[in-house]
Chains A and B, each alone.
Chain A
Amino acid sequence: MRRPLSFLIPLLALAAAALLPLVSGPYPLAVARSVLTYMALAISWDMLLRSGQISFGIAGFFGLGAYAAALSVLRGGMSPILSILFAGVFAGAVALILGLVILRLRAVYFSITTLALAEIFRVIIQNWSDFTGGPEGLVLPKLIFNGESKSLYWLVLAAVVIACAASTMFEKSRIRLALSAIRNNEQSAAASGIGIFKYLLVAFVVSSFIQGIVGGIQLQGYGFASPDAVFDSNYTLLPLAMALLGGIHGTPGPVIGALLLGIAAEFLKLHIPYGHLVVYGIIIVLVILFMPQGLYGLLRSRRHAVAPVAENRVDAGAWGK
C-alpha cells in the first residue's frame, strides 16, 4: 500500500496546487507565491544537506540569480523566460567554479565560507554600480506576464516542481546512497569507491541552479533587484527554518515546513498584527528545540513504532489459523 500512496499524495498535492488559482483570489495567490518561493529554496538547501554539508549561501545564489536575470534582460535583451533559465545556469556555473575549491572544506568551515560567499556577492554587486545599478539596484520595464497573478503563481509553482523533481531524483537514484554514505562516514564512503567530490559537486551545483532559478523568478515577478532586497538574510534563514521544522534529508519535510511556517506567518500577521513576528520566532525556536527531527521525521518515527505491532497482530492471526 505504501508505494501507490507515495505517488498518489504528491500527485494530488500538485493537482491541488495547480488548481488553486481557479478557486482563490489574488491575495491568497500572492501569499502562496511567497510560500512556494521559500519552499523551493528549502528543498534545494536540503538536497545539499543530505551530504552533511550545511550551506548558508542560499541568499547568495538566489540574489545572483535575480541579478543574472535582470542584467540578461536589461543589458542582453533576453526574453523574461530565457532570463530565468539563464539565472539558474549562471548560479549553477558559479557554484561549479567555486565548488571546485570550497567543497574541499568540511563542517563549519564550509558553512562559514558559503555565508561569506553570499556577502561577497552582495558587496561586489553593490559596488559595481555602473553595471549593476549599485545599492539602488535595477528596475525592469515591465513584469513577466504583465504581472498577472495566476500566471505568476504557476511560474513559481513550476520552480517548486523542478525542485521536487530534482530532489526526488536524488532520493531515488544512487546519489542518495552516495550522499548518505558521505554524511554518515566519509572515510568509509571513500573506501567503498564512492566519488565523494563528484557527488558533492553535483549536489552543490544542482541546489545552486534551483536557487538561481527561484531568484530569477522573483526578479521577474516583482520587477526589481537591489542588493538589500535579494541578498536579504531571510532568504537563507527562512528556508533553513522551514526545512528544520518539516524535517530534513528528504523532499516532504521542507514542503511541509514551508507550508506550515509560510501560512502561519500570514495567519499570525492578520490575527496578531502588533506582535506576530515575536510569536513566529517563538514557534520556530520551540519546534527546533523539541522536535529536532522535524514534523515529517516525527510522523515517520511514530509510523515505524506502530507498524511492527500491526504486523505482529497479523502474524498472530495467521498462526491462529
Chain B
Amino acid sequence: MAISETSLKDVLLFTFDEINKAGGVLGKQLQLIIVDDEGKGDKGVAAIEKLATVDKVDVLIGGIASGVALAQVPTMKKYQIVTVATGAAASTTVEKALGPSPDSDWYFHLHPWDYNQGQSYADGWDAIQKKYPAIKINRIFLAYEEGAFGKSSFDASKAIFGTRYQFDGASFKSALQGGSDYSAVLEAAKEFKPDLFLWAGYAQDALPLLEQSKAMKFSPPVYLGAPPAWPADMSKSPLAENVMLYGMWAQSINDISAASKKFYDAYVKAVGTAPTSYFAALSYSAVYIVADGIKRAGGTDKAKLIAALEATKYASPLGETITFSPSNIIKHQGIRNQKILQWQNGRQEVIWPFEVQSKPIVYPFPAW
C-alpha cells in the first residue's frame, strides 16, 4: 500500500500499526510504502511509477492537491491500481480527467467533489436559518486565495449561492504564496456588508486575517473560514472564538461517536497532539476501508477487491457511515457532505448536521 503525502504519514503509520497489532488482515501483516509527491506533479507521477512497477503495490491511498492528482491521472489510468483517494476535490479537472465508468472503476474517491461541498453548505445554511429564525442570510462575501483552490471555491460557491443570495467576492494573495496584506479584500468585504463572510485560503492565512479583521473592526454576523487545515495553535488563540468553519471532523464528534473517540485517542497517543486537519480522520478511514475490503474480498485480487469496496459500509470517525455511489462522472464517490462547525471555548463544535450537533450556534459573531 502507499500514500503520497508526508503530511499524513503519522496517521498512516499508526493506523497500519494498529491493524497489524490486531493481527493484520487475513492473518497477514499490511505493509505501508510511503513516497512523497512533494506537492509537485512530476514528482507525483514518478511516485506512481515507482509504486506500480518497483514496489508493485496492491492499493494506492492518499493525495491532497488536485494539481498533483491531475498530473497523476494518466499514469494511474495506465496501471489501474485500486486507489482510495483522500483529496483532489476539483471536479472540472480531476473528475473529468478520470472519466466515467467502467474506465475509472478502480478509483474510489473519499473526499467530496467541489460541487458536493457547495451543495452541502447550501443545505446546511438553509437548515440553520430554518431552525434559528434570528439568523437571516441575504448577502454573502467570499474572500478567496488567488490560486486554483480559491478560484474553484469561488466558482462553485457562486454557482450555488449566486442565484439565491446577493453574492460577491474578491481574491487575496495567500500567506502560503508570500502574501500578508488582507486589507484590500477586507475593505471590499466591509463595504459589501455581508451577513456571511467566508474566506477560502490556507492555514497560514487564518490568524493574520483575523488580526487584520480585528484591526479594521470588521465583524460580520457570520465569520466563516474554509481552509483545508487550521494552525496547530488555533484553539489557543482568543481570535478564534465563535469563528465558524467547514470541515469533516472535529474533536467534539468524540462525544457522540465511539469511532471518532478511538481515532482521536490513537492519534494523540501516536503523534502527541490533536489533529489539525480532517484529512487525518479521512486517511485513517481510508486505511480501514481498504483493510475491510481486502478481508471481505479474501485477498487483493483486483476485481474482487473492487466489488468488496463497492459494498463498503464503514462507520467512520467522521460521524457518518461511508458508502460508495456514483457522482456526476465517476462510479465510486464516498463522502458528499461537509459539516458546519464553530470554534467555542477553544474547541471545534459541530453546528450542522443537527444529528451530530454538539453545541448550538453562537450568533451573531461578537464585535471585536
Contacts and interface: CB of A to CB of B under 8 A. Distances in A.
14 contacts: A27-B49, A27-B50, A30-B42, A31-B46, A135-B150, A136-B90, A136-B152, A147-B74, A226-B67, A228-B147, A269-B38, A270-B35, A273-B35, A276-B36
A33 B70 CA distance: 18
A147 B78 contact: yes
B34 A273 contact: yes
Contacts of A269: 35-36, 38
B359 interface: no
A228 B93 contact: no
A234 interface: yes
B34 A30 contact: no
B147 A227 contact: yes
Nearest to B43: A34
Given A37-B42, A269-B36, A135 B71 contact: no
Contact size range, B: 35 or more
Contact of A135 (B40, B50, B97, B151): B151
Given A25-B54, A266-B46, A274 B38 contact: no
Contacts of A30: 42, 45-46, 49-50, 75
Interface residues of A, number: 36
A147 B48 CA distance: 14
Given A126-B146, A134-B151, A136-B90, A222 B71 contact: yes
B9 A274 contact: yes
B148 A226 contact: yes
B53 A136 contact: no
A26 B56 CA distance: 12
A31 B150 CA distance: 31
B154 to A, nearest CB: 9
A224 interface: yes
Given A136-B90, A223-B74, A273-B9, 6 more contacts: A25-B54, A136-B148, A222-B42, A223-B71, A228-B147, A273-B35
Contact of B147 (A135, A139, A143, A224): A135
A252 B155 CA distance: 48
Contact of A274 (B6, B75, B151): B6
Given A27-B53, A226-B148, A269-B36, A34 B46 contact: yes
Given A139-B70, A147-B78, A224-B71, A33 B42 contact: yes
B117 to A, nearest CB: 16
A270 B70 CA distance: 23
B66 to A, nearest CB: 9
A223 B33 CA distance: 27
Interface string A215-237: 00010001110111100101000
Interface string B11-43: 000000000000000000000001110101111
Contact of B93 (A25, A37, A139, A277): A139
B246 to A, nearest CB: 20
A222 B150 CA distance: 23
A137 interface: yes
